[in-house]
Amino acid sequence: MRGLIELLSLISDGQYHSGESLGQHLNISRASIWKRIQVLQSMGFEIYSIRGKGYRLVDAIELLDKQKILSNIGSTETLASLEVLSEIDSTNAYMLSKAGQISTPAACLSESQTAGRGRRGKPWVSPFGSNIYLSLLWTAHGGLQSLDGLSLMIGVSIAKTLSGLECPDVQLKWPNDIYANKKKLGGVLVELTGNWMDQAHVVIGIGLNQRITQEQRQHIEQPIVDLAELGWSGSRNELAGKLINQLLLDLRAFEEKGFSMFQDDWNARNVYEGCSVEVLQPRSRLLGECQGVNERGELLLKTEQGILKVHSGELSLRPISREV
């Protein structure tokens, strides 16, 4: 519906705005404003409406702003391009479609995704205006092996960015989940295209929960946490910019030295360190004590047969002890 996002941005400050002034701004009638307010409410935005005062968004939101994001990318590593979209099926799918046609590294953020995708074919619930949906298109030289540990390194970059913005206690779950309070705060989905032996186009997709309503949580099949619950109420544009900045710096280091220089940082944030865990593979299940990761990003599992190294892929890890 035309003007929906403009309307949301006009009331995003959490103050009252009359139907008349909103109508004037958007050049539509008060009745049309009311219809759009109802659509926004059906999308999960809580909006008060008081006769004589107008409309107020209960929780003020900060819409993505390209200039503000760019001003937070102070990196010596340059970003070739940044796109900020209102809606897209999936930022990963979008960037994959651009691979080979645009200069890299290139980033894309969207306010919402209609077909956001997670690992193992799961959907990624992506409501409008309150979370981070970011994809970075990057070119990797040096074949598939040079990508060992990439998604773990991305987890470290995200955790470092959040710590730098004073969001405490972010942990990592092998291979690519971001955790806090023992619940999922975000995830990483790395997808590849191109000639893997020589030059691979890599799309690094990151989803981070900033604010997810109770209603939206019903569509997510695991316990999740958002930044608001963790007491973090910083700027989404600053978070997006600082995250891109950290990714650019860390990707450069990763390209030169591989995962080994991120190994200690990852292990220091391992949510299941020392816990009994099971690794679910497509046709089998491994049990053992989680002992972090090695310099290639493989999970080290202490079993009766000795230390097993588990390579990531379509695997998932979960604790056996209920305490973790």
Q: What residues line the site for ligand BTN (CB under 6 A)?
A: 90-92, 113, 116-119, 122, 124, 133-135, 177, 187-189, 205-207
Looking at beta carbons only, is 61 or 240 nearer to ligand BTN?
Answer: 240
Task: Tell me if residue 184 is catalytic.
Answer: yes
Backbone angles phi, psi at 94, to 5 degrees: -60, -45
Torsion of CA 222, 223, 227, 231, to 10 degrees: 180
CB of residue 256 vs ligand BTN: minimum separation in angstroms?
A: 26
CA–CA separation, 225 vs 301, rounded Å? Answer: 27
Task: Tell me if residue 318 is catalytic.
Answer: yes
CB of residue 32 vs ligand BTN: minimum separation in angstroms?
A: 32
Looking at beta carbons only, is 96 or 140 nearer to ligand BTN?
Answer: 96
CB of residue 271 vs ligand BTN: minimum separation in angstroms?
A: 14
Encode 97-156 in three state secondary structure. HHCCCCCCCEEEEEEEECCCECHHHCECCCCCCCCEEEEEEEEEECCHHHHCCHHHHHHH
Q: Which of 119, 173, 242, 269 is catalytic?
A: 119
CB of residue 96 vs ligand BTN: minimum separation in angstroms?
A: 10
CA distances in angstroms from 93 to 58, 145, 194, 202, 248, listed in the order given: 33, 23, 14, 12, 21
Looking at beta carbons only, is 116 or 127 nearer to ligand BTN?
Answer: 116
Q: Which of 117, 160, 184, 236 is catalytic?
A: 184
Looking at beta carbons only, is 135 or 312 nearer to ligand BTN?
Answer: 135
Q: Which residue is nearest to ligand BTN (CB)?
A: 187
CA–CA separation, 254 vs 260, rounded Å? Answer: 8
Q: Which structure tokens are listed for 1?
A: 């519906």
Q: Which of 2, 257, 309, 318 is catalytic?
A: 318
So which residues are the catalytic ones?
119, 184, 318
